[in-house]
Structure 1
Amino acid sequence: MKYDDVMKLALERGFYFPSCEVYSDAQAGFWEYGPAGVGLKNKFIELWRRELIRRDKMIEVDGSQIMSKSVFEASGHLASFADPIVRCTKCKSTYRADKIIVDATKTVIPESAGLDEFDKVITEKNVKCPKCNGDFGSTKKFNMMFQVGIGPEGEEAYLRPETCQSIFVDFPRLFKTMRGKLPLGIAQIGKSFRNEIAPRQSLLRLREFYQAEIEVFCNPARLNDLDKFSEIENTKIPIQVDNEVKIMTCKEAVDSKIIPNKFVAYYLGILIEFYEKAGIDIQKSRFRKLEEKEKAFYAEVAFDFEVETTTGWLELVACNYRADYDLSGHATKSKEKFEVMDNDEKVLPHVFELSMGIDRSLYTILEHSLREDKENDRTVLSLKPYLSPIHVGVLSLVKKDGLAEKTDEIYLKIKRKYDVFLDHSGAIGRRYRRLDEVGAPYAITIDHQTLQDDTVTLRMRDSMEQNRIKVSELDEILSKKTAFP
């Protein structure tokens, strides 16, 4: 299914839609989740907690979205967090330089390249403004931080462009109060804000977006001293080598030096296991090692976890070895101590990061799960049952003869344990189709036989198979079928 099909589903079935859409001055890059989207997002986050946070005994925090200027001076964002832009000298329209070059010439230039490189390509390829065919001025840098004023004096502060900075500045307190021991994973889910030049394609590039970030603090001298590596050493990961995606085990990737050490390989391994359980087609995924000019300014080694969609390869997770960039920067700026004891050794920890885009991940899950069943004339969203915003629909065959009352009775028994949709109206086939589109894996139909023997029909979304079961067995069956893995 294509991007337009996902967009149509999202709008019609309440997954997501533009913010402030009733107003003509609504800004691009802001989207809101409807009921179905909230259900999917919350379950995706719970799966993330189960498969990554709890598995690795990480701790989770919830930091402030507005942070002081000093934080971003120390982190380098005020100096380096910028995109290259060009402005038309004729109509004054502004574009991202790397994107306008790709659109016009198919030439890919990393956004971190020097400004003169963009100017050179624009001149040599005669790139013009797509609106008025005017010439572009020189490429400049545009800082994407959202500045805010605090209090009546308007003291300078910023909306966070990533959720991880509060983890870094809070690290000394967290390590002490939680009796930390290296390696220590600290995680955070929340909103980040980036003043994107040209937000586009709904959830794929936003100005206000959800991140799930994990920062693992470690002793750089012990990156191959990891007992738990045995848990994933045979886990297969798709990794791009010389422009070719190869499937290899984590152990093979470390032995061949494609991944630098067991520490990094371990987290790439548990990440791929998580996304497979989330419903991503792993055959359409890859870990791509970034070249020097592609890496973020704070990264020593970087892998992007990318997934193929109908819009192209989409980065879902940035996997960055940040070394001691962050802790040393905050230590210098704040004059506080960030070293900790690792056994009998004083260490300034290094950091490995898994920075996940939740919105992009949800879009990809929707696209990979959406299919057209032409044989049965229906659209099906084949989400994993534990991620479906609706676990089960409860339907009365007709509203008369006491069936509506019996349906309500069954609904009341299960609604607090499962996400249930009650539906009395319309043809039963049409009601099944609506549930198929929103991803509900099961439907319960109450008919006249129910009144006689207290049984109902349980319909399966993907196969359309229908089985007769006792009402008394519903809870046990649904519990097994919708449980997290």
Structure 2
Amino acid sequence: MKLALERGFYFPSCEIYSDSQAGFWEYGPTGLSLKNKFLELWRRELVRRDQMIEIDGSQIMSRSVFEASGHLESFADPIVKCTGCGATFRADRMISEAGGLEIPENAGLEEFDQAILQNGIRCAKCGHDLGPARRFNMMFRVGIGPDGEEAYLRPETCQSIFVDFPRIFKTMRGRLPLGIAQAGKSFRNEISPRQSLLRLREFYQAEIEVFCNPANLNDLEKFARLQDTVIRIQTGTEPKAMTCREAVQSGAVPSEFVAYYLGMLAEFYQKTGIDMERSRFRRLGDKEKAFYAEAAFDFEVETTTGWLELVACNYRSDYDLGCHARKSKEKFEVMDGDQKVLPHVFEISMGIDRSLYTILEHSLRDDRENERTVLSIVPYLAPVHVGVLSLVKKGGLREKTDEVFDSLKTKVDAFLDHSGAIGRRYRRLDEIGVPYALTVDHQTLEDGTVTIRERDSMEQRRIRLADVTGEITGLVSFP
């Protein structure tokens, strides 16, 4: 958090005002650069790799959409209210923090009431008794036009994919299986947002909905590409590493279709620099699954806050298309060869903010031997790819450094710095994860070479000015 606030990664929205609300954060220059590169990696490794289609849907959607999807009825968290001071709390989280008892958020209300009574849980603020548990719908309602016609900010990005599916499939000459992707903001009226980017009211998602013929889930030609990819599956107490093929054969994953996309996801996060030995795909029980899911896996990564869910992977069957077909009276069936089918859907719903937080935490290290803080982000995700520094500003070095910077600034994310001791400038670059630094010194003017310094090892070597652009672009490009 200290690094994020001091180095422009992210910070609270409207922080200068006392009435600013929790759960809203803003990305600064370094954070935005990291987010944009993360999304480009997502597009390359998932969307383009699997020949998916990407759309950009509206953030405000009509009431009918959420009536059909079940969100107006079912998208709610359990809450309890203090009978004394009136403070409101998440019931499941309060029980977990008080006694370590984990109750799924979609459990029956009587389970929360019973656990609160049996564990003697009282208001954390004033100590009074808590009222009965009830459900709180987390969608933000908005009024459209002068009459305030009812609509809602989307709580997830996927609903526009579902309602647009017939048009997209027709106009793009779709064939099953077909992946449709969307990245953008979603909105949830969280009761108690906390821990910066981990639980927000306004947040970024990258969602993929893969439409398929349910008769072909174990007849996936492209499964061979990823059948040997290792994923860590937890169905018991500890995660177990196995190949995608072994996961299907053992029954840990229900089909080749699901295993294929879990494998793709694992390979993607491997390339973000997250420690995959601290990751797992946890299969959810019946009480934990979302109301629309037949089978569900959460991709979770261990952090200092505990196991953190980064991606929800849900086999939603034909729930969504069926609901929208019944509500809208439109046809959602498509042809798959000679067969007319109502497609089933497998969802990969990624939390971008949580993913970025995890990348930062897993990359941050305290190099006490060299008295520096280092953010060892993989080079292609680094907010700045290269720092361009002059040893001193005199004797023509400033002008030469500006010339080197000008040759790089349209090719990579470069940062120009003339001010301060060279060691201090290196340390500032290390803190925001800049993988390379170029230093222009007196020898540069003599033989046309510059020093290139590597962030993690601090090793330095000299390269020719004529090779700088090709060398740097090669070092920081996506693998």
| TM-score category (smaller protein) | over 0.9
Aligned residue in 1 for 2:134: 140
Deviation at 1:241, TM superposition (A): 2.7
In 1, the alpha carbon distance for the partners of 2:332 and 2:303 equals: 42
Match for residue 477 of structure 1 among 463, 466, 471: 471
Deviation at 1:479, TM superposition (A): 1.6
Aligned residue in 2 for 1:447: 441
- 1:363-405 deviation per Cα after TM superposition (whole angstroms, max 9, x unaligned): 0000000001111110000001000010000000001111111
Match for residue 215 of structure 2 among 215, 221, 233: 221
Counting only pairs closer than 5 Å after superposition, residues 297-312 of structure 1 correspond to structure 2 as 297-312=291-306
In 1, the alpha carbon distance for the partners of 2:472 and 2:399 equals: 22
**TM-score, with normalisation over the residues of structure 2?**
1.00
Match for residue 360 of structure 1 among 351, 354, 362: 354
Question: Partner of 2:378: helix, strand, or coil?
Answer: coil
Deviation at 1:476, TM superposition (A): 1.3
In 2, the alpha carbon distance for the partners of 1:413 and 1:352 equals: 46
In 1, the alpha carbon distance for the partners of 2:117 and 2:164 equals: 47
Matched, 1:413 2:407: yes
In 2, the alpha carbon distance for the partners of 1:468 and 1:180 equals: 52
Code of the residue aligned with 1:95 in structure 2: it is F
Deviation at 1:243, TM superposition (A): 1.1
Matched, 1:275 2:275: no
Matched, 1:266 2:286: no
Question: Partner of 2:288: helix, strand, or coil?
Answer: coil
Aligned residue in 1 for 2:182: 188
Deviation at 1:475, TM superposition (A): 1.1
Matched, 1:114 2:108: yes
Match for residue 179 of structure 1 among 149, 170, 173: 173
Aligned residue in 2 for 1:255: 249
Code of the residue aligned with 1:427 in structure 2: it is A
Deviation at 1:244, TM superposition (A): 1.6
**TM-score, with normalisation over the residues of structure 1?**
0.98
Match for residue 91 of structure 2 among 74, 94, 97: 97
In 2, the alpha carbon distance for the partners of 1:178 and 1:385 equals: 36
Aligned residue in 2 for 1:317: 311
Deviation at 1:138, TM superposition (A): 0.3
Deviation at 1:128, TM superposition (A): 0.6
In 1, the alpha carbon distance for the partners of 2:93 and 2:297 equals: 22
Matched, 1:434 2:399: no
Aligned residue in 2 for 1:150: 144
In 2, the alpha carbon distance for the partners of 1:414 and 1:122 equals: 61
Match for residue 335 of structure 2 among 321, 336, 341: 341
How many pairs were matched up?
479
Match for residue 226 of structure 2 among 226, 232, 246: 232
In 1, the alpha carbon distance for the partners of 2:97 and 2:43 equals: 39
In 1, the alpha carbon distance for the partners of 2:341 and 2:139 equals: 32
In 1, the alpha carbon distance for the partners of 2:165 and 2:173 equals: 12
- 1:182-240 deviation per Cα after TM superposition (whole angstroms, max 9, x unaligned): 00000000000000000000000000000000000000000011011001100000111
Code of the residue aligned with 1:253 in structure 2: it is A
In 1, the alpha carbon distance for the partners of 2:222 and 2:378 equals: 28
Question: Partner of 2:129: helix, strand, or coil?
Answer: coil
Match for residue 369 of structure 1 among 353, 363, 367: 363
RMSD: 0.4
Code of the residue aligned with 1:178 in structure 2: it is M
Question: Partner of 1:376: helix, strand, or coil?
Answer: coil
Question: Partner of 1:418: helix, strand, or coil?
Answer: coil
In 2, the alpha carbon distance for the partners of 1:287 and 1:331 equals: 32
Deviation at 1:103, TM superposition (A): 1.1
Aligned residue in 2 for 1:326: 320
In 2, the alpha carbon distance for the partners of 1:101 and 1:252 equals: 37
- 1:71-96 deviation per Cα after TM superposition (whole angstroms, max 9, x unaligned): 00000000000000000000000000
Matched, 1:285 2:276: no
Code of the residue aligned with 1:146 in structure 2: it is F
Runs (5+) with no aligned partner, structure 1: 1-6
Code of the residue aligned with 1:226 in structure 2: it is L
Code of the residue aligned with 2:181 in structure 1: it is A
Code of the residue aligned with 1:432 in structure 2: it is Y
Aligned residue in 2 for 1:43: 37
In 2, the alpha carbon distance for the partners of 1:429 and 1:141 equals: 56
